[in-house]
Amino acid sequence: MKAEHPYNETLIVRYLSGEADESEVEQVKSLLASDSHFRDFFEQTRFVWEQSERPNYNINDDWEAIRRRIGFETPPVSLWHYFTRIAAVLAVVLSVSAGLWVYWNVPGFGRWVVFETGALSDSLVLPDASVVFLNRNSSLKYPSVFSSNQRRVALEGEGFFEVAPDKSRPFKIIAGDVDVRVVGTAFNLDATRDDGVVELNVTHGTVLIKNSENEILVNKGEWALAGREVIGKGFITNNNFLSWKTGMLEFNNASLKEIASALNHHFAEIKKVKIDTESNVLVTTRFEGQTLDEVLDELSIHFQKKFLLDHGTLVISE
């Protein structure tokens, strides 16, 4: 993301360095008191200014050179001396500008933070006290400080969000071609599908999900699917969409295909499923904390089928 602002970085640098004149000081104070966007930009600039290793020269001398050049009574200086001093002042501004670019764009160096999971799920608390649980092999990009008018993050993978209420700052999630916007609610967002379709399951409150063509409100107890063009929703019937977080799988009159799909999503060892048989049996059971081998052994008894994990592929056969 690029920083877009109408403010003069040189003015802020002069203020921070103590070189601003009285009118400039009043201008900065007035903007800080009246303009929330300026306050955000000022704090970001001050952060970069304080973290930067500034060159070992006297900025007072630099501005004095400018004053002499525009007519104040001071001893004459050479043109070369004048240009070198101007270059030194510009170096400060350019240094802060470069720092701001890194601050706004490079994760881990200021404004943006990236939290990633590997083979295990994990959780984090955002600057607004919202809590996010990330499934394995997922990541969340978020600012180290939220702006005064919105809270914006980007998700890759799958996460469960418990968003802290704040009506003045809506919470926005970018997931591929889909935006999700809320104020205070709880929901699971799955952006792991190869076709780019995002699945939303809402457990509390109301969520607005939108793409370039459409938008829809999703309430507690409802799910929605959204891709680049299509949005649809219905009532939640899959009780295991949060099994990766709770560690529990629960089936009620579930078919073989439904159970196989849930296993594929729940266990990291299963990369894909191959079903070489058919079954009309419906199974009601519950697993909590069992290993994959223990689960497969029980299911083989229920369905009277073979459940075999072969190099990441779960093969179900006669």
Domain boundary among 105, 130, 165: 105
Starting at the earlier edge strand, list the strands of the sheet with 272-275: 272-275, 313-317, 306-310
What was the pLDDT predicted at 218?
Answer: 94
What percentage of the chain exceeds 70 in pLDDT?
77
Same domain, 231 and 250: no
61-76 per-residue burial string, b: 16 or more CB within 10 A, e: under 16: ebbbbeebeeeeeeee
pLDDT confidence bin for 88, thresholds 50/70/90:
low
How many separate domains does the chain show?
A: 3
Q: Is 2 a domain residue?
A: no
Same domain, 100 and 144: no
Q: Is 61 a domain residue?
A: yes
- Per residue in 201-214, pLDDT (tens digit) is 999 999 999 988 88
Q: Is 225 a domain residue?
A: yes
Domain boundary among 196, 214, 235: 235
Q: Is 209 a domain residue?
A: yes
- Per residue in 257-292, pLDDT (tens digit) is 999 999 988 898 898 899 998 889 999 999 998 899
- Per residue in 158-183, pLDDT (tens digit) is 999 999 999 889 999 999 889 999 98
Domain boundary among 52, 77, 105: 105
Provide the domain limits for residue 248.
243-317
Q: Is 167 a domain residue?
A: yes
What was the pLDDT predicted at 57?
Answer: 44
